[in-house]
Amino acid sequence: MIGIFDSGVGGLSVLREIRKLLPGEDCVYYADNANCPYGEKSREFIIGRAREISEMLIGKGADIVVVACNTATAAAISALREEYSDPGKPGTGRKVLALSGGKRDHIKFIGMEPAIKPAIMMTVTGVVGVLATAGTLKAEKYRHTRELADGKVTVAEHVGQGFVELVESGITSGPDAEDTVRASLKPLLDEGADTIVLGCTHYPFLMDTIRKVAGPDVTVIDPAPAVARHVAEVLSEERKDVPLSSGKLTLLASGSDTFLKRFAENMIR
């Protein structure tokens, strides 16, 4: 079973790509919406939540956990991998779990990576724009990824101010969405960015609005399809002898699940 989590509905942008590629896999999605947004929360807080949520997903039978949140990936994925890692690797393997049918003895964590690498290949102006949360942009993990661009292209960054709140209120288009998107996108376009990387899983739900504001000459990259392909690759390596499950989807939330279920109904089925 694949466990997936985010601070809210954002990770559904990753789940929908996973469902397209792996319709027969059982998935359990957890929205930590009682604590959304994560963007301005401390690293320690996010690591704590990521641990608790992963533990819960693993308890429900997940043997692969997708951290479908750039902010949580940047803050917590190293800690999670360290804790539930391959016992064969020296210096790791603190939590070795006996899982369903004894098929697996360690948990795979897959996280989000801002698509800076493909953006470097695509830009013509030599300026790549990154939209992400404040937490992602200040994280060491992101700074490390950003170094890929050093000496090759300029990277301009901006927080998608208010984007998460818009999506969590179910607003993905219209004048309010356009104004909010324009305020954060314009500084990147003004710097000459012709390729925009969406570094937060909520932002793909604003894709039409972002494309409208950016115009036809700008490429906008959603990393979710690449992450889903990675999940499929990992599963095909790990699951050779495990029978296909029924493709059941379970949606859970730390707060109310009403909006999550409605949003998922509209966006991924």
Minimum separation from the CB atom of position 80 to ligand DGL (A): 16
3-state secondary structure of 220: strand
Nearer to ligand DGL, 30 or 38 (CB): 38
- Evaluate whether 156 touches 199 at the Cβ level (below 8 Å): no
Nearer to ligand DGL, 39 or 129 (CB): 39
Catalytic residues: 69, 200
Which of 3, 37, 111, 114: binder of ligand DGL (CB under 6 A)? 37
User: CB under 6 A: which stretch of 66-74, 114-122, 149-157, 227-235 binds ligand DGL?
Assistant: 66-74
Helix (H), strand (E) at residue 64: strand 64-67
**C-alpha to C-alpha distances, 75 to 5, 70, 190, nearest whole angstrom:** 14, 9, 30
Minimum separation from the CB atom of position 200 to ligand DGL (A): 4
3-state secondary structure of 113: coil
Using CB under 6 A as the binding rule, whether residue 210 contacts ligand DGL is answered as no
Backbone phi and psi for residue 46, each to the nearest 5 degrees, phi listed first: -65, -40
- Evaluate whether 38 touches 71 at the Cβ level (below 8 Å): yes
Using CB under 6 A as the binding rule, whether residue 136 contacts ligand DGL is answered as yes
**Dist. CA 3–CA 24, nearest whole Å:** 14
Amino acid residing at 201: T
- Evaluate whether 20 touches 228 at the Cβ level (below 8 Å): yes
Nearer to ligand DGL, 37 or 129 (CB): 37
Q: What's the order of all strands across the beta sheet hosting 2-6? A: 108-110, 64-67, 2-6, 27-31, 249-253
Minimum separation from the CB atom of position 103 to ligand DGL (A): 30
DSSP tag of 243? P
User: CB under 6 A: which stretch of 15-23, 51-59, 63-71, 143-151 binds ligand DGL?
Assistant: 63-71
User: CB under 6 A: which stretch of 65-73, 174-182, 239-247, 259-267 binds ligand DGL?
Assistant: 65-73
Backbone phi and psi for residue 42, each to the nearest 5 degrees, phi listed first: -70, 155
User: CB under 6 A: which stretch of 6-14, 20-28, 58-66, 151-159 binds ligand DGL?
Assistant: 6-14
**Dist. CA 84–CA 206, nearest whole Å:** 34
Using CB under 6 A as the binding rule, whether residue 71 contacts ligand DGL is answered as yes
Nearer to ligand DGL, 1 or 72 (CB): 72
Which of 54, 85, 180, 201: binder of ligand DGL (CB under 6 A)? 201
Which of 3, 39, 111, 129: binder of ligand DGL (CB under 6 A)? 39
Strands 27-31 vs 154-159: parallel, antiparallel or unpaired: unpaired
Which of 30, 38, 84, 205: binder of ligand DGL (CB under 6 A)? 38
Which of 107, 116, 164, 196: binder of ligand DGL (CB under 6 A)? 164
Instruction: Give contact residues for ligand DGL (rule: CB under 6 A).
Output: 6-7, 10, 36-39, 69-71, 133, 136, 164, 200-202
